[in-house]
Amino acid sequence: MKIRNMNELDIQNKRVLIRCDLNVPIQNGIIQSDARILASLPTIELALQKKAKVIIMSHLGRPKNECYEKKYSLFPVFKYLKKKINYTKVYFSDNYSNITPIKPGEMLILENVRFNSGELKNDAILSKRYSNLCDIFVMDAFGSAHRKQASTYGIGKFVNIACAGPLLISEITMLKKALKNPQRPMISIVGGSKVSTKFNVLNKLSSISDTLIVGGGIANTFLAIDYNVGKSLHEPEFVLKAKKLRDNYKNIVIPIDSRVGKNFSDTEPCIIKLPSKIKENEEIMDFGDETIKKVVKIIEKAKTIIWNGPVGVFEFFNFRKGTENIAKAIANNSGFSIAGGGDTLSVIDMFSIKNKISYISTGGGAFLEFIEGKKLPAINMLEKNFSINTK
């Protein structure tokens, strides 16, 4: 099925509502990483240049009970964008029912959609309210494309024209490039805390990759098949499932040594140990040196790399080496690399390798579900809208 592309539409003088992914980390009102905003900026600026009346909406964080919480307000993002887009008027509104009228080439940023009752439940009344704000709806939030919510899915039922923005089109194109007829060797690196949420994607990647490297709590669950992992973050109830996966595929690389500590602290000293030597009061928090050497050699030979998640507690200096070496090895690789996931973006920022990754996806869950082969709800919505409104 087909979807509309914003680039192909006449949006001049039209009220264009763009669902962006501006879900950025904010501490004390200060944006810690602007990666997602910068990714959305070309779409926003293109709409402004085409003299659309641009309205932006996004979620930020997970406010409780769909109620206002200052720490989840998009106001700091509004201030950031107002400085960035200083050639036109930029407004902010927390009122979805009575928004500020704007002229062509101007922009209005709406408050966090997750403060609106019914957003998460894909409420039809709220979806209709969103649709009344615009002539054209642009879905450009790939990071939320796997969510069946009012601002990402429900609105498509009520607007005449729903289309994909340039960022969403780019995300789909690049992911398809990595997954369909990739150059080989193709390797995948998957870190993170829980293996339970990633079994399907690990299965998929194991079947299409020449090598799958696991890190973090995911790797610890695989290590627990054969070893006592002490108090390391892992999921004992999924060890048998991990064993089946490991036994079905012979291409899964599990750490052969680890950096361990006794306390989860940024001042905790690290000791490198074999998995068989880990004590009850110790926890694995990073790859050991031999594992790093092994993984870096695999990365150096790769022609296609899919990367999701750090392999250790990279926030702690003593447990950063594995993630740092792997990130830099990916950056130095001359093949095609695609990286996605919130923590992955933080790693890329930390080691200043943004310009050395072929493509950085703004998606976390959407990134993984696309790789898994699932049809993302937002894509389904765009296809339905096109089908219904072009008959």
Instruction: Point out the annotated binding site for substrate.
Output: 21-23, 36, 59-62, 114, 147
The active-site residue, picked from 105, 261, 335, 342, is: 342
* Catalytic member of 4, 14, 15, 36: 36
29 is catalytic: no
Q: Which value, to the nearest 10 degrees, does the dihedral of the CA atoms of residues 275, 280, 282, 283 take?
A: 70
| Catalytic site includes residue 335 | no
Which one is catalytic: 51, 148, 194, 243?
A: 194
Q: Is 323 exposed, middle or buried (0-12, 13-18, 19+ CB in 10 A)?
A: buried
Q: Which two tokens stand for residue 310?
A: 């750090």
Residue 194 annotated among the catalytic residues of the structure: yes
**Whole-angstrom distance, CA of residue 252 vs CA of residue 262:** 28
How many whole angstroms separate alpha carbon 103 and alpha carbon 266?
Answer: 51
Taking the C-alpha atoms of 118, 120, 121 and 123 in order, what is their torsion angle to the nearest 10 degrees?
A: 40
| 157 is a catalytic site residue | no
Between CA 311 and CA 269 the distance in angstroms is 18
Number of C-beta neighbours around residue 278 at 10 A: 22
Annotated binding site: 21-23, 36, 59-62, 114, 147, 198, 315, 341-344
Using CA atoms, how far apart are residues 319 and 312, in angstroms rounded to an integer? 6
Query: What is the rounded CA–CA span in Å between residue 85 and residue 80?
Result: 9
| Catalytically active residues, by annotation | 36, 194, 342, 365
